[in-house]
């Protein structure tokens, strides 16, 4: 029984203590919220530190009893709650050191705002000449940093806008004059940034393709139009500049360089610079082997359009060896081989060179029926009395 009685008394004491603690935790009568913004001498928000309140106005900051302490947030704002009425010194502390102080009289039930502006005359008037010089130097550096940040923010907006425009303009070969001008201004503003040059190259290429399409509508070859050719050559130069800057940077991105060299290869191919195009594709493959199938496929197209059958066949074979699921390399290989067909003197029927029919069959098995080349190939094979193997299955292995 005694044990039960002791437990009851202990429980009662704990209950009484809890009630007493709750009573003490009640808000101080008349307490208010004080909030404000903190600006450093360079005009930037203070994004770390604390605001400390004390009524020990006669004591040094390190000795004063701080009755309220609240952090400054990442935007330079603070909010101190439950500040009791009275006269205070309010300090800004950064890295454990006081950097500003103001007086504040807190009136019961009246929330207050107290901003700390370290660019103000209030703050500056009591500083030593040495400290004022430090602040002036800081302001200059901060201004330069702000200007640099502003440039970067604007360039990021320009990049996003131009890329969106080009995504719409490239398929339709629309005019890209504005995008070219925007990216020219971007590279002028920050000429050491590789990505700006690469996107500048994209804009120049889009405009070159637009002008080439206009030339075609007018019934002339774009290679006879100096303005169109200049856009192509300027585009290749911009891509090259971007690749060079990327390679020389602290953190090179080989995949980005490969994109640039692939574009250079495509441009050189359009301009008839076949050896230069081949060299550019080889660089792209070396930089990003994961896309070698696409790069060799592009090389095969360039060689084919330049009527270099052996080069087209070799590039197509390399593309097929890496990715056997793409129809285009098979088509280019077959079209390049058929020029080597001979005539059987006995039957007077064409004899296709080795690999030609297999390449056509692989193309037909992989290309979608809607591809207009499918009907053309079937018609060609029919004219040669060659039976199309409808059960033919092209290789599907893919090598990285």
Domains of the chain and any CATH numbers: 29-120 (2.60.40.1120), 145-287 (1.25.40.10), 306-400 (no CATH)
- Rounded to whole angstroms, the Cα distance separating 288 from 298 reads 14
Segment among 14-23, 254-263, 322-331 with least mean pLDDT: 14-23
Is 117 within 8 Å of 43 (Cβ atoms)? Answer: no
Q: List, for residues 172-205, the tens digit of each pLDDT value.
A: 999 999 999 999 999 999 999 999 999 999 999 9
**Averaged pLDDT, 208-220:** 96
Concatenating the DSSP letter of every residue in 223-266 gives GG-HHHHHHHHHHHHHHHHHHHHHHHSSS--HHHHHHHHHHHHH
Q: 154 pLDDT exceeds 60?
A: yes
Is 229 within 8 Å of 237 (Cβ atoms)? Answer: no
pLDDT of residue 140: 74
pLDDT of residue 348: 80
Q: List, for residues 21-75, the tens digit of each pLDDT value.
A: 444 444 689 999 999 999 988 788 999 999 999 999 999 999 999 999 999 999 9
Q: 19 pLDDT exceeds 50?
A: no
- Rounded to whole angstroms, the Cα distance separating 319 from 333 reads 10
Q: 93 pLDDT exceeds 90?
A: yes
- Rounded to whole angstroms, the Cα distance separating 367 from 32 reads 76
Nearest to 352 by CA among 365, 337, 362, 363: 337
pLDDT higher for 150 or 325? 325
Strand pairing report for 342-343 and 350-351: antiparallel
Torsion angles phi and psi, residue 142, rounded to 5: -65, -40
Percentage of residues in the chain having pLDDT higher than 90: 72
Per-chain mean pLDDT for the chain: 88
pLDDT of residue 304: 94
Q: List, for residues 281-323, the tens digit of each pLDDT value.
A: 999 999 999 999 999 999 999 999 999 999 999 999 999 999 9
pLDDT of residue 147: 65
- Rounded to whole angstroms, the Cα distance separating 22 from 351 reads 102
Q: 369 pLDDT exceeds 60?
A: yes
Nearest to 186 by CA among 177, 167, 204, 199: 199
Q: 88 pLDDT exceeds 50?
A: yes
Q: List, for residues 234-289, the tens digit of each pLDDT value.
A: 999 999 999 999 999 999 999 999 999 999 999 999 999 999 999 999 999 999 99
**Averaged pLDDT, 222-227:** 95
Place 153 in a pLDDT band, splitting at 50, 70 and 90.
confident
């Amino acid at each position: 029984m005694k044990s039960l009685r002791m437990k009851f008394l202990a429980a009662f004491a704990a209950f009484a203590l809890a009630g007493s603690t709750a009573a003490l935790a009640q808000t101080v009568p008349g307490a208010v919220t004080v909030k404000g913004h903190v600006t450093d001498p360079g005009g930037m928000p203070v994004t770390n530190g604390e605001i400390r309140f004390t009524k020990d106005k006669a004591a040094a900051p390190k000795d004063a009893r701080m009755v309220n302490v609240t952090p400054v947030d990442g935007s330079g704002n603070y909010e101190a709650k439950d500040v009791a009425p009275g006269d205070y010194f309010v300090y800004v502390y950064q890295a454990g050191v006081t950097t500003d102080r103001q007086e504040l009289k807190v009136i019961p039930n009246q929330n207050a705002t107290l901003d700390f502006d370290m660019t103000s005359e209030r703050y500056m008037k009591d500083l030593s000449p040495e400290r004022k010089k430090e602040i002036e130097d800081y302001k200059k550096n901060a201004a330069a940093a702000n200007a640099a940040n502003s440039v970067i923010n604007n360039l990021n907006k320009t990049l996003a806008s131009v890329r969106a425009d080009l995504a719409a303009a490239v398929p339709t070969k629309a005019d890209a004059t504005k995008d070219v001008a925007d990216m020219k201004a971007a590279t002028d503003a920050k000429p050491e940034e590789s990505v700006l040059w690469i996107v500048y190259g994209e804009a120049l290429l889009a405009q070159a393709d637009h002008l080439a399409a206009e030339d075609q509508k007018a019934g002339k070859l774009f290679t006879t139009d100096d303005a169109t050719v200049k856009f192509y050559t300027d585009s290749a130069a911009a891509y090259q500049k971007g690749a060079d800057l990327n390679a020389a940077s602290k953190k090179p991105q080989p995949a980005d360089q490969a994109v640039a060299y692939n574009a250079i290869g495509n441009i050189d191919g359009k301009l008839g610079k076949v050896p230069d195009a081949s060299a550019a594709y080889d660089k792209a493959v070396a930089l990003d082997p994961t896309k070698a199938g696409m790069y060799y496929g592009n090389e095969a197209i360039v060689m084919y359009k330049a009527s270099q059958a052996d080069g087209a066949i070799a590039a197509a074979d390399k593309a097929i060896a890496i990715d056997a699921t793409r129809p285009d390399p098979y088509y280019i290989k077959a079209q390049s081989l058929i020029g080597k067909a001979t005539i059987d003197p006995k039957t007077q029927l064409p004899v296709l060179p080795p690999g030609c029919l297999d390449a056509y069959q692989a193309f037909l098995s992989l290309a979608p029926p809607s591809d207009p080349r499918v009907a053309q190939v079937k018609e060609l094979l029919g004219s040669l009395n060659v039976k199309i193997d409808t059960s033919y299955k092209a290789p599907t292995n893919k090598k990285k």
